[in-house]
Amino acid sequence: MLFLQLPLFLVFLPGGDNEDAKDYVQENVCFQESISFKLIAISLFYNHSCTQNLGSSWLGEFQMQVWDSRFGTFVYLWPLSKGNFSNEELMELQKLFHLYFIRLAHVFHNHVIQWKLKYPFEIQEAGGCGLHHGEVRVAYRGSELLSFQNNSWLPSPKVTLEIIHRTLSDTCPCFLLGLLDAGKADLQRQGQHSSVGWIFLAVIVSLVLLTGLAFWHRKCWTHCDSPSAPIPLE
């Protein structure tokens, strides 16, 4: 049901200003265990040459960033949306997201016939974390293909397990803490950063691979008696 609601999240919040967002963060600093950071993305494939990518991130109920698919950039809706990450780290992350969308489009455009896809179609992704753990979900037209929860993938290609676990357990909670620190310290930078570049690059490659593996696995289910056939890792 989560993916059926994704388009509702890909809009700007009406009204409000930075003080509203900052107040929300400050009010929730004492309740850090319950607040979460979420990323939502939808890739729309209209035909073999036209693709549109929509994305947004949320701190609790406040939208922090939105993805501008025209320019391949983040739009930061509040000053505190950058957390305590440096401009260099944010630029690197922005480039990696742009690269991810490009690779995702190539994967699906190149396998339309093999995976029996019909234009138009969409791929939906949602991920996020609290301060100690996170999860990622990938869906096709509202039907979930992959889910990472409780330290395991369903289906579970083990080759990417450690990379995704490190990202959801370390990098995402670190960014969440940065957002909370930014609100608590009145947008002053704290100077503690996470080396997000290589980790997110690994995640980008992994998610593209996992999405392809999921479609391969789904195709096998339609031709094999057993739905538990192992997913090839090469």
pLDDT digit string, tens, across residues 97-130: 888 788 888 888 888 888 788 899 998 888 888 7
pLDDT of residue 8: 34
What are the structural domains of the chain? 3-221 (3.30.500.10)
User: CA-to-CA distance for 86 and 182, rounded, in angstroms?
Assistant: 12
Stated pTM of the model: 0.61
Give the tens place of pLDDT for each residue, 178-199.
777 766 654 344 344 444 444 4
Percent of the chain with pLDDT over 90: 13
Q: Which of 164, 126, 131, 142 is nearest to 39 (CA)?
A: 126
Residue 190 has what pLDDT? 39
DSSP conformation letters of 99-145: HHHHHHHHHHHTTTTTTT--SSEEEEEEEEE-SS-EEEEEEETTEEE
What does the alpha-carbon distance between residue 170 and residue 83 come to, in Å, rounded to a whole number?
15
